[in-house]
Amino acid sequence: MMLLRAYLPILILLALLAAIPLVVTSNTALNFVVFVLIITLAAQGWNLLGGVGGQFSFGHAAFFGTGAYVSAILQYSYGVNAWAALGAGILSGAALGWIIGFLSFRAGLRGSYFALVTLAFAEVLRILANALPITGGAAGMLLKLNIGFGNLQFTSRGAFLWLALGFVAAGLLISRAIADSRFGAQLVAVRENEDAARALGVDVLAVKLKAITVSGALTAAAGCLYLQYFLYLDATIAYGVWISVEVLLAAMVGGRGLVLGPLVGAFTLHGVGDLTKQVAGGIPGIDLAVYGAVLILVVAFAPGGVLGLIHRLLSGLTRPRPAKEAQ
């Protein structure tokens, strides 16, 4: 019963998203959904570390870009199969997560210091990727168009949407499982109060390392998907500040630390952004201005994000009943 209640909203949302290619034929619309799903996946990674664990990263581009580059280089320079390259990309994200975590958490970095260090890692990687020959330097890398399931390239955008949705679904299930586990409880405890967690036997360093490793893997997977969809990569795309900001915004706007937060946040943010672009199409960068405005509104009026707001409204409507939905 409790299991059903926890997983039901996830299943409904996934079913709705999976039905999109069956009813929508517009390429623009499908492009939009695929892109937002990729952002969602990357944001799920951020949300685990930043939302659940309270370790604010400002450099998740490091994982996104590393996943994408590892996958691209393996395919481009070594002719590795795309699926295997995808797996390697995800693993590289996990490994990088562990390394960054080991270096910064062991040194006791928290809060804005941790955020700055992650930003520095992403920037160093961006500069390296822009200069090294193996990443194609500033010219970037263009993957050969070679459509086929084995190459992770599809003619139909709908098929890719399902692939991306599969990853997002996996991300949701992982997040849900973590939220209900001992590891999840300890991660939240670390976010709320490290000393108290330590006193209760929580190995704070180990918990943080586990979180940043899984987080890096999820965000790296998003980088790999981005590569397979657009088949092009350069340093500004892979390691640019844009993706670090995107994932952070999506998780915060949706509802920091909540399982569905990144999904809801990414669609809200990009929905609003795209709508503004349609309405005020002539003004360049108007969607970015809207992002900023949305973030300010969320921080000021809905610290729990869109989901927190919905929850508040719902519990306001059903106030007379005794509050029993605390799970």
Interface residues with other proteins (CB under 8 A)? 180-182, 185-186, 188-189, 191-193, 195-204, 323, 326
Q: 23 vs 199, which CB is nearer to other proteins? A: 199
Q: CB of residue 315 vs other proteins: minimum separation in angstroms?
A: 13
Q: CB of residue 181 vs other proteins: minimum separation in angstroms?
A: 7
Q: CB of residue 103 vs other proteins: minimum separation in angstroms?
A: 19
Q: 81 vs 193, which CB is nearer to other proteins? A: 193
d(CA 238, CA 232): 10
Cβ contacts of residue 89 below 8 Å, gap of 6+?
66, 67, 68, 70, 71, 74, 220, 221, 223, 224, 227
Q: 202 vs 212, which CB is nearer to other proteins? A: 202
Q: 231 vs 309, which CB is nearer to other proteins? A: 309
d(CA 154, CA 55): 37
Q: CB of residue 197 vs other proteins: minimum separation in angstroms?
A: 7
Q: 149 vs 192, which CB is nearer to other proteins? A: 192
Provide DSSP, 14-76: HHHHHHHHHH---HHHHHHHHHHHHHHHHHHHHIIIIIIS----S-THHHHHHHHHHHHHHHH
User: In Å, how far from its chain's centre is CA 177?
Assistant: 17
**Distance between first and last Cα of the chain:** 12
Measured from the Cβ of residue 170, the count of other Cβ atoms closer than 10 Å reads 14
Q: CB of residue 208 vs other proteins: minimum separation in angstroms?
A: 12
d(CA 249, CA 243): 10
d(CA 173, CA 169): 6
Q: 198 vs 277, which CB is nearer to other proteins? A: 198
Q: CB of residue 202 vs other proteins: minimum separation in angstroms?
A: 6
